[in-house]
Amino acid sequence: MTGGGAVRTVMVVAHVGRPDAVEAARSLVSRLIAEGLTVRAPKIEAEQIALPEVVAVQPEPEAAAGCELTVVIGGDGTLLRAAELAREPGIPLLGVNLGHVGFLAEAERDELSEVADRVVDRDYVVEERMTIDALARCGSEEIARTWALNEVSVEKAARDRMLEVVAEVDGRPLSRWGCDGVVCATPTGSTAYAFSAGGPVIWPEVEAMLMIPISAHALFARPLVVSPNSVLAVEVQSDTPHGVLWADGRRTWPLPAGARVEVRRGAIPVRLARLHTAPFTDRLVRKFELPVRGWRGAANRLPGF
């Protein structure tokens, strides 16, 4: 049992569409309650976990305020949903992967007991991940103001026609692309949609932004890596069908022809709790199942390295 003093509160967010995630959440919650912690959960999770001690809250941007940690049980999509509840109050997210790759998760399903121990003991470290803010306008009308941990994308809405856009960096035009869309991503998002679109992998500690055209019909259509202080912009041309703005694949708005989307470094980072201190290279190898047979180790480095 935990000692006296202030009440400790942990939020639990789970993939409610998966019975195994709900069962894992119920097991974790039972353990945390037995250790004297208060457990909070979004209303739909609380209903499915079905333990009377769980405090149900509305899924709002400040839902995790007052918690010391948010434990997320599911895949990366569930963690992105949890980030919407924990980013503004600055509550760290600890992911338990039940999905396929689960790149943002820190533990797997069979490590749930260890996760409970580490939460109870406060045995984890916290790192900050850069976010991006996006503003979409058409003329003087504001269409959307949003943020993303992984990426913001401008995409075509009609399957039968390309989207015509002009890309801009720091107030200067770069190129016009007829394309399926444009992804603007963070280093965290470099292993997500941006990776699938052909962008480079960027180590999390590198502060930068990415711009990647999707299936562009153009001579110059390479992924770009720019300063975190830069401002990226995508202008939907007036002679093209309307597009769609996506933020982390979760929030979406229609973009009329003539719309402009500006992307810059986010004002509020997302905080991730870490149980392991292994290098990011090891995470890449493990999550993507990369072949490393033949590596002979640090003992074979050249002199002076």
How many Cβ atoms are within 10 Å of 239's Cβ, its own excluded? 7
What is d(CA 48, CA 165) in angstroms, rounded to the nearest whole number?
45
Q: What is the mean pLDDT of residues 282-299?
A: 88
- Tell the residue number behind the tokens 């692309």, with chain if given: 177
**Chain mean pLDDT for the chain:** 94
Catalytic amino acids? 76
Which of 144-148, 168-172, 226-230, 284-288 is least confident? 284-288
Q: Is 15 in contact with 98 (CB distance < 8 Å)?
A: yes
pLDDT band at 160 (very low <50, low <70, confident <90, very high): confident
Long-range contacts of 25-31 (CB under 8 A, 24+ apart): 25/49, 25/73, 26/50, 26/51, 27/112, 28/71, 28/73, 28/96, 28/112, 28/115, 28/116, 29/53, 29/54, 31/113, 31/116, 31/120
What is 187-229 written as a DSSP string? TGGGGTHHHHTTPPP--TTS--EEEEEES-BSS----EEE-TT
Give tens-digit pLDDT for 15-31.
999 999 999 999 999 99
Degrees to nearest 5, angle at CA 217 with 151 and 159 = 70
Residue 208 has pLDDT above 70, yes or no: yes
What is the model's pLDDT at position 159?
83
pLDDT given for residue 1 in this prediction: 47
For 96-125, what is each residue's pLDDT tens digit? 998 777 889 999 989 999 999 999 999 999
Which residue segments constitute the domains of the chain, with CATH numbers given? 9-123 (3.40.50.10330), 132-265 (2.60.200.30)
pTM value is 0.93
